[in-house]
């Protein structure tokens, strides 16, 4: 991570995936053209693998410059920005995931009600620090090589649909409560290796 640099909020948001777990199974990604992807999976089980459309609610956010200088801090992370996004889940499937043809998998609109695909506004807080992913932070014990991340997005509500928007929430959705997952990390800090838990995700 380069020190003493400034970046636009758009550049930071679109610089790579944002992960709920260090196994990178559950991810939201933003592209500069206003598209992106949302993935919700546990190991080989996939519930959501869809493209999203998104836009800033306040156009001036596009011009905001964010200061990324300084060292990451585990305690007292620094607030960098607060902004609102409109995000829409689409019915455009991600073609392949884990080398599997997603058109042959039951997911997205087959599991979610139509209300899951209407535009929703999210208030998001961008923070800088030394973060574990939300999944790793839930573990009783972290191993020395558990990845740490430089940036975190904190949503006011999860980008995953709420329980009422699932057709049959009993089972994995109720067990894992995907709709409570609101924190996603980006930009892994150097000096860390693979996740201590591989692709295993704790609900």
For residues 93 and 144, the model is more confident at 93
Q: How many CB atoms lie within 10 A of CB 163?
A: 13
Query: Does 126 map to a domain?
Result: yes
- Tokens describing residue 196: 């201590």
- Give the pLDDT confidence of 68-87 residue by residue, as tens digits: 988 877 788 999 999 999 99
Q: Provide the residue range defining the domain that includes 156.
A: 6-188
Number of domains in the chain: 1
Q: What pLDDT, on a 0 to 100 scale, did the predictor assign at position 111? A: 97
The band of 43, judged by pLDDT with boundaries at 50, 70 and 90, is confident
Q: What pLDDT, on a 0 to 100 scale, did the predictor assign at position 203? A: 66
Query: Does 194 map to a domain?
Result: no
Query: Does 198 map to a domain?
Result: no
pTM, to two decimals: 0.90
As a dihedral over the C-alpha atoms of residue 137, residue 28, residue 111, residue 109, rounded to 10 degrees, the angle is 170
50-64, 131-145, 148-162, range with the lowest pLDDT: 131-145
Looking at the chain, the whole-number percentage of residues with pLDDT higher than 90 is: 70
Q: Which helix (H) or strand (E) holds 125?
A: strand 120-131
Taking residues 171-180, what's their average pLDDT? 96
């Amino acid at each position: 991570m380069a020190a003493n640099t400034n970046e636009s909020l758009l550049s930071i948001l679109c610089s790579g995936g944002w992960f709920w777990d260090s196994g990178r199974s559950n991810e939201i990604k933003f592209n500069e053209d206003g598209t992106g992807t949302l993935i919700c999976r546990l190991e080989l089980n996939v519930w959501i693998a869809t493209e999203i459309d998104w836009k800033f609610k306040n156009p001036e956010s596009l011009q905001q410059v964010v200061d990324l200088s300084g060292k990451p801090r585990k305690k007292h992370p620094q607030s960098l920005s607060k902004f609102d996004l409109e995000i829409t889940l689409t019915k455009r499937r991600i073609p392949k995931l884990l080398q599997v043809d997603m058109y042959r998998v039951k997911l997205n609109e087959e599991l979610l009600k139509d209300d899951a695909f209407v535009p929703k506004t999210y208030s998001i807080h961008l923070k800088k620090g030394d973060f574990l992913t939300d999944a790793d932070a839930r573990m009783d014990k972290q191993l020395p090589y558990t990845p740490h991340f430089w940036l975190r997005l904190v949503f006011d509500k999860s980008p995953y649909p709420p329980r009422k928007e699932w057709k049959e929430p009993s089972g994995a959705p109720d067990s894992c409560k995907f709709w409570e997952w609101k924190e996603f990390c980006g930009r892994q800090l150097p000096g860390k290796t693979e996740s201590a838990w591989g692709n295993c995700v704790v609900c």
